[in-house]
A = this chain, B = another copy of it.
Amino acid sequence: MNILVLHGPNLNLLGLREPEVYGKETLEDINNMLRALARDNGVELRIVQSNHEGALIDALHEARTWAHGVLINPGAFTHYSYALRDAIAAIEKPCLEVHLSNVHKREEFRHKSVLAAVCVGQIVGLGWRSYTLGLTGLIQILQSSALPV
Contact = CB atoms under 8 A, between A and B. Distances in A.
Interface residues of A, number: 59
A120 B124 CA distance: 8
Contact of A87 (B51, B55, B87): B51
A50 B58 CA distance: 9
Nearest to A108: B108
B75 A86 contact: yes
Interface of A: 8-10, 12-13, 16-18, 50-55, 57-58, 61, 64, 75-77, 79-83, 85-87, 89-92, 96, 102, 104-105, 109, 111-114, 116-117, 119-126, 129-130, 133, 136-137, 140-141
Given A102-B122, A109-B114, A119-B125, 11 more contacts: A13-B91, A17-B90, A51-B53, A52-B54, A52-B55, A105-B116, A121-B124, A121-B125, A121-B126, A129-B141, A133-B137
